[in-house]
Structure 1
Amino acid sequence: MYDTEKGVKELIDLTPFEEKDHGTGIDVPFFDFESMLAATNNFSEENKLGKGGFGPVYMGKFPGGEEVAVKRLSSVSGQGLEEFKNEVVLIAKLQHRNLVRLLGYCIRGEEKILLYEYMPNKSLDSLLFGESSSQQLDWATRFNIILGIARGLLYLHQDSRLRIIHRDLKTSNILLDAEMNPKISDFGLARMIQGKQTEANTLRVIGTYGYMAPEYALDGLFSVKSDVFSFGIVVLEIISGKRNMRFYQVKDDAPSLVGDGWRLWQEGKALDLMNERAGSNCNESEFIRCVHVGLLCIQEDPSERPTMGDIVLMLSGTQSSKLPIPKQPAYVIRRPLSATASLYSNAETNTEITSSIEEGR
């Protein structure tokens, strides 16, 4: 029964997840806390890979030599037991080459820990925006990363046995393996769509500013099309090597990456978005196609955004018909931080928003 949508929802809703409560329906191994201490050298700073909204991530190594990534729930994290259960139950039932693989979990009192396959090239944001802006990200690598993310989202939305909306897709949640294959991670905020349901509503909006679709940020409405919006932002960041939002480096009403992309597209100068590190071997037709698809994804009206199935066909060049003309996207002009933040604080609906933590994994 735990392979059905109803069964998985009941498992998430009912399982208490107390220490060693690794019961029926949980498809990943339980690890004791002592083995976590040994694998991470007592969670030493030397083993620390980075930090996300969930908490710090450490390199772990078991006696046989297997390397793992150990994610430790922070006591001050905005994410808690509900998000932890989401990861343990949902991601264990998802199998795709472009999704990170959960290897196990651990609970000891207030300690909640997740074990993942180790990604030697860390997170996409650390390579795109890190101090050295890695030379590894030539155009072919960037395009393959975009395609891999699209295929992973298509699996979540359409092809997996459980249909999932990720709700927090961003470059820091894309991990890269030894061959630079992208793997979507961090399913703590993910939600399952049951039956013929295509969208849902929440009074607790949690996500990352700069990647959130307007209908989700303002009204709490999320769907596969809100993931599509986030994907469009990620595409623009990958091809340009620039962050969509960085409050402390801009003046009021300065254009965001979205605004720059839209302006250049309208002026017929989309190639000016190209990151200089990708330029030497860039396939210009692929680049223009990526800009086009990215702008289609971030249109303000969700019904006008393509599905991930359409996007995969567009990117692969197998869609014979001409691509639709994108309409003006949401968030073309960046508001000052103080003005923007006020849009998302509503005491009556208990709305929350988290910011990206710009630190590699």
Structure 2
Amino acid sequence: MLRSSVPIWVLCFSFFSLAVFVSSTSQEIPISQAYSPPVRAQSPGPPIVKVVLRQDLNKKILIALIASSTLLCVTVMLLLYLLLWRYSYMKNSFTGINPNHHPDSVRSSVSTKPIAHKIDSVTKGTIPVYEYQLLESATNKFSESNVLSRGGRGCLYKACLDEKSSVTVKRLDGGGDTDIIEKQFENEVDWLAKIKHQNIISMLGFSVYRQTRCIVYEMMQNGSLESLLHGTSQGSGLTWQLRMKIAVDIARGLEYLHEHCNPPVVHRDLKSSNILLDSHFNAKISDFGYAAVSMTQGKNLKLNGTLGNRASEYIVDGKVTDKNDVYSFGVILLELLLGKKSVEKPSTTEPESVVTWVPKLSDRANLPNILDPAIKGSMDLKHLYQVAAVAVLCVQPEPSYRPLITDVLHSLIPLLPLELGGSLRIL
């Protein structure tokens, strides 16, 4: 409104000043009044000659110049104000800040601009940028006491923004390779800005400070599945029913990625450390640094971390399909059943994948004896046999032999009680 009205106002004022100037220069005084004394009578004679007083003319010209200069100064000041307002507006849009999102989400430093520009091309400036100093303070300088879990590329921290607001902060660690960490960071932020599902982690914002990259998630009080299964508690807090709930939650998240996203999305790095659990043990898939569209070639992207969760055709050929995720899901299901890591590293022998236990799962008589001690004897054997059969199918070497994640989900839902999101009625 202000920007559109200024040119009209300036134009009107200019015409007014010009009119004053012209009027002032056209005022004339008869010479008889200016220089001659008064006379009683005047006979007709030649026409009266009129002259313009130079002193008055100079004075009025000076006034006109002062008015014009004042007008010019006011106009320049208004234009500068409009330019500053426009710059401030574009800067806020550029950094993708939503001031109403949270009082603690503020604009990041100048170092965030390159990465924010890349992300903004997809997210259209809808993701808040958190000050690194705020996250550092909220995690007590990323202290060990606030660590929820550790992953291959960083740690998860509990962060208290204020007395009523807690979040999970993932601080990425590139291990010296800044190019890889930058690509993973951009990829995850872009995907999580577009994907919304109850079993996919919700991103609240991000932070860029020098070489450090942080992603702010919703609060996940129980950390990662890996820390609960293989940490100090050794899975003692995970009952059979909770493990089945976690498996169903993961399958639901994968089904959304494979069946409801257009185009379909393949996670490519599904493992227990990337499954986060909230206070009610609702499982959510996180870490989308390697996520890609299905049916693409990913061989040129360097993969580090645990190879035991990845299908052989992906490792060899780099072919990205939904069956890659199905294989990884089968490995997690084996971890839930056996309580073993995806790759065990004994001190005296070569690392051993949990998939090598698959032949033993086919022996129904011996199956209850090789289960995780924390869940032995706590389930219906028919349910155990069915879950073991699903796990065996998911980790088949031939991709075409693996089921679709939708079929896996429909096989597991009847084994889960109604109150935990399944369809099993317990009498």
TM-score higher than 0.5: yes
Deviation at 1:24, TM superposition (A): 5.1
Q: 1:233 to 1:75 in 2, by over 3 A?
A: closer
- Which range moved further: 136-145 or 204-213? 204-213
- Of residues 21, 32, 49, the one that matches 2:131 is 32
Residue 334 of structure 2 aligns with which residue?
A: 236
Aligned length: 298
Residue 17 to residue 230, structure 1, CA distance change in 2 (3 Å): farther
Report how far residue 86 of structure 1 moved. 0.9
The AA in structure 1 aligned to 2:140 is N
Query: CA 1:291/1:38 → structure 2, altered by over 3 Å: closer, same or farther?
Result: same
Mapping of residues 274-285 of structure 1, within 5 Å: 274-285=371-382
Structure 1 residues 31 and 231, CA gap change in structure 2 (3 angstroms): same
* Other-structure match for 1:157: 258
Tell me the equivalent position of 2:169: 70
Instruction: Work out which of the residue numbers 324, 329, 338 in structure 2 matches 1:226.
Output: 324
Instruction: Tell me the CA shift for residue 164 of structure 1.
Output: 1.2
CA distance in 1, matches of 2:321, 2:113: 28
**Coordinate RMSD, CA, aligned:** 2.4
Matched, 1:174 2:174: no
Which structure has the greater CA radius of gyration?
2
- The residue that corresponds to 2:188 in the other structure is 87
Q: How does 1:133-212 map to 2 (within 5 A)?
A: 133-193=234-294, 198-207=295-304, 208-212=306-310
Q: 2:158 aligns with which of 59, 70, 76?
A: 59
Structure 1 residues 291 and 264, CA, compared in 2 at 3 Å: closer, same or farther?
closer
The AA in structure 2 aligned to 1:18 is P
Alignment of 1:116-131 (within 5 A): 116-131=217-232
CA gap of 1:47–1:127, structure 2 versus 1, over 3 A, is closer
Does the aligned pair in 2 maintain the 1:264–1:272 contact within 8 Å? no
- In structure 2, give the amino acid aligned to 1:219: D
2:141 alignment counterpart: 42
2-structure distance, mates of 1:124, 1:75: 22
Give the deviation of 1:312 after TM superposition.
0.9
CA distance in 1, matches of 2:135, 2:240: 39
Identity score, percent: 34
Q: Give how far 1:266 is off.
A: 4.8
**Residue among 226, 245, 253 paired with 2:343:** 245
The one-letter amino acid of 2:114's match is E
By how many angstroms is 1:256 displaced? Answer: 4.3
Question: For the Cα contact (< 8 Å) 1:98–1:183, is it kept in 2?
Answer: yes
Tell me the residue number matched to 2:95: none
**Distance between the aligned counterparts of 1:206 and 1:177, measured in 2?**
28
TM-score (norm 2): 0.65
- Partners of 1:268 and 1:90 lie apart in 2 by 45
Shift of 1:204: 2.8
Structure 1 residues without counterparts, runs of 5 or longer: 1-15, 319-361
User: Conserved in 2, the CA contact under 8 Å of 1:17 and 1:85?
Assistant: no
Instruction: Summarize the alignment of residues 100-111 of structure 1 with structure 2, pairs less than 5 Å apart.
Output: 100-111=201-212
- Is the contact between residue 200 and residue 223 of structure 1 (CA under 8 Å) also seen in structure 2? no
The CA distance in 1 between the partners of 2:235 and 2:364, in whole Å, is: 30
Q: Is the 8 A contact 1:199 1:224 kept in 2?
A: no
Distance 1:75 1:240, change over 3 A: closer
- Distance in 2, matches of 1:275 and 1:126, equals 15
Q: Does structure 1 residue 299 correspond to structure 2 residue 396? A: yes
Residue among 302, 310, 330 paired with 2:407: 310
Whether the 8 Å CA contact 2:154–2:173 is kept in 1: the answer is: yes
Deviation at 1:93, TM superposition (A): 1.2
Q: How does the TM-score come out when normalised to structure 1? A: 0.76
The one-letter code sitting in structure 1 at the alignment partner of 2:258 is H
Q: Deviations over 1:192-211 (max 9, x none)?
A: 23xxxx35342234152211
Tell me if structure 2 keeps the 8 A contact 1:147–1:312.
yes
Aligned 8 A contact 2:148 2:222 in 1:
no
- Select the structure that is richer in helix: 2
Counterpart of 1:98? 199
Q: Distance in 2 between matches of 1:130 and 1:52?
A: 13
Once residues 313 and 250 of structure 1 are traced to their aligned partners in structure 2, the CA distance between those partners, rounded to angstroms, is: 41
Change (3 A) 1:216 1:279: same
Residues 147, 158 of structure 2: 8 Å contact kept: yes
Q: Return the offset for 1:217.
A: 1.5
